[in-house]
């Protein structure tokens, strides 16, 4: 039942804290300002305990019922005749934000490769991209844009590789070494992104959804080799850590300060953020997985395909 549910413009977040479930309602713009403990009743009924209000508005109902899918996932909350439907992706990557391509991918790729990045004025540092897997075998890859489980539902990268500018890569290595004694490794979803891929994303996305992708006329910090999309994995099992939301999920669960999910999910998300910030990275305000290195302004927008990048020597 933990997740986001919506009716009209009202959103309800069912979350866990200290092994108890809470009903949290969105009252004002950007504010989660009413929270109440909930307890199970008979069957699929739940009671809302008005014992821990953050404010008096909005006033919650006294009870609600739930509707489950075949796998047991709660898909609806029902208050009388009002139905709040789940709006997050749950735990299923198939529920990602997807778009319908405006044109065939190969047509978009050809146009993007023929285009030129925006002209910038320097001076900039000389690029020195390092392949992250050469730094430490505990850096694992899950490059989504080289697979089909991304928002375009098709591979865009021709190779599953990840690079960063050397100072950023070395800072990432220090993050890894801080996390390893705690039993965690780093799982990389994306690093340096050639500019032409940013243009593909923009051109492939309908204008109404352009807020989800970077404007190629401005470039992105990924284009400069100073941004990384990543998560944690358990060293003992090799499995990714469960976070408050999925990678590239376009919902409030992606916000780094999202108050929902479980206590353990929030703890892991915050652990990753603290470790990254300790080495000069800043989390993106809309994406818990996206971090920018402090020196990103010192590097130019790059448009070198992965095929033309050789592997750097392993770190000493």
Residues 129 and 188 in one domain: yes
CATH of the domain at 206: 3.30.1380.10
Tell me the per-residue pLDDT of 160-194, one tens digit each, with 9 for 90 and over: 999 999 999 999 999 999 999 999 999 999 999 99
Examine residue 313 and state whether it is found in any structural domain, yes or no: no
Mean pLDDT of the 250-258 span: 91
* Domain membership of residue 276 as a residue range: 97-308
Q: Do 104 and 82 reside in the same domain of the chain?
A: no
In a domain, 92, yes or no: no
Which of 60, 86, 112 is where one domain is finished?
86
Domain end, chosen from 28, 54, 86, is at 86
Same domain for 298 and 177? yes
Boundary residue ending a domain (57, 86, 115):
86
pLDDT digits (tens, 9 = 90+) for 190-246: 999 999 999 999 999 888 888 778 999 999 999 999 999 999 999 999 999 999 999
The answer to which of 20-29, 135-144, 257-266, 284-293 has the lowest mean pLDDT is 20-29
- On whether both 238 and 169 belong to a single domain, the answer is yes
- Check pLDDT > 50 for residue 268: yes
How many structural domains compose the chain?
2
Q: What is the 3-state secondary structure (H, E, C) of the chain?
A: CCEEEEECCEEEEEEEECCEEEEEEECCCCCEEEEEEEEECCCCEEEEECCCCCCCCCCCCCEEEEEECCCCCEEEEEECCEEEEECCCCCCHHHCCCCCCCCCHHHHHHHHHHCCCCCCCCCCCCCCEEEHHHCCCCEEECCHHHCCCCCCCCCCCCCCCCEEEHHHHHHHHHHHHHHHHHCEEEEEEECCCCHHHHHHHHHHCCHHHHHHCCCCCCCCCCCCCCEEEEEEEECCCCCECCCCCCCCCCCHHHCCCCCCCCHHHHHHHHHHHHHHHCCCEEEECCEEEEEEECCHHHCCCCCCCHHHCCCCCCCC
Same domain, 243 and 148: yes
Residues 47-91 pLDDT 10s:
988 755 455 555 567 889 999 999 899 999 998 899 999 999 888
Say which residues have a Cβ less than 8 Å from residue 262's Cβ, sequence separation at least 6: 2, 15, 16, 242
- Whether 127 and 262 share a structural domain: yes
Residues 63 and 136 grouped into a single domain: no
One domain, residues 201 and 237: yes
- 19 lies in the same domain as 101: no
In a domain, 187, yes or no: yes
- The pTM score is 0.91
196 lies in the same domain as 175: yes
């Amino acid at each position: 039942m933990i997740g986001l549910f919506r009716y009209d413009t009202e959103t309800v977040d069912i979350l866990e804290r200290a092994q108890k479930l809470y009903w949290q309602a969105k009252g004002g713009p950007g504010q989660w300002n009413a929270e109440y403990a909930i307890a199970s009743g008979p069957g699929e009924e739940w009671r809302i305990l008005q014992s821990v209000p953050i404010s008096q508005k909005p006033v919650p109902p006294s009870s609600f019922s739930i509707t489950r899918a075949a796998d047991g996932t709660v898909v609806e909350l029902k208050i009388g005749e009002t139905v709040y439907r789940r709006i997050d992706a749950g735990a299923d990557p198939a529920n990602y934000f997807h778009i319908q391509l405006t044109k065939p991918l190969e047509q978009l790729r050809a146009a993007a490769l023929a285009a030129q990045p925006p002209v910038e004025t320097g001076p900039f540092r000389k690029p020195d991209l390092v392949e992250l897997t050469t730094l430490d075998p505990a850096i694992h890859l899950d490059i989504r844009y080289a697979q089909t489980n991304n928002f375009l539902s098709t591979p865009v990268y021709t190779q599953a590789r990840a690079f960063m500018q050397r100072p950023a890569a070395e800072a990432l290595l220090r993050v890894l070494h801080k996390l390893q004694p705690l039993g965690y490794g780093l799982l990389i979803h994306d690093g340096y992104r050639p500019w032409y891929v940013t243009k593909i994303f923009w051109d492939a996305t309908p204008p109404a959804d352009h807020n989800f992708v970077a404007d190629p006329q401005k470039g992105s910090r990924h284009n400069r080799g100073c941004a990384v999309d990543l998560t944690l994995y358990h060293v003992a099992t090799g499995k990714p850590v469960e976070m408050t939301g999925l990678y590239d999920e376009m919902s409030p669960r992606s916000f780094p300060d999202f108050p929902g999910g479980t206590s353990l999910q929030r703890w892991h998300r915050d652990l990753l953020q603290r470790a990254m910030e300790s080495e000069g990275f800043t989390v993106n305000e809309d994406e818990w997985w996206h971090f920018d290195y402090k020196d990103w302004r010192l590097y130019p927008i790059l448009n070198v395909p992965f095929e033309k990048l050789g592997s750097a020597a392993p770190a000493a």
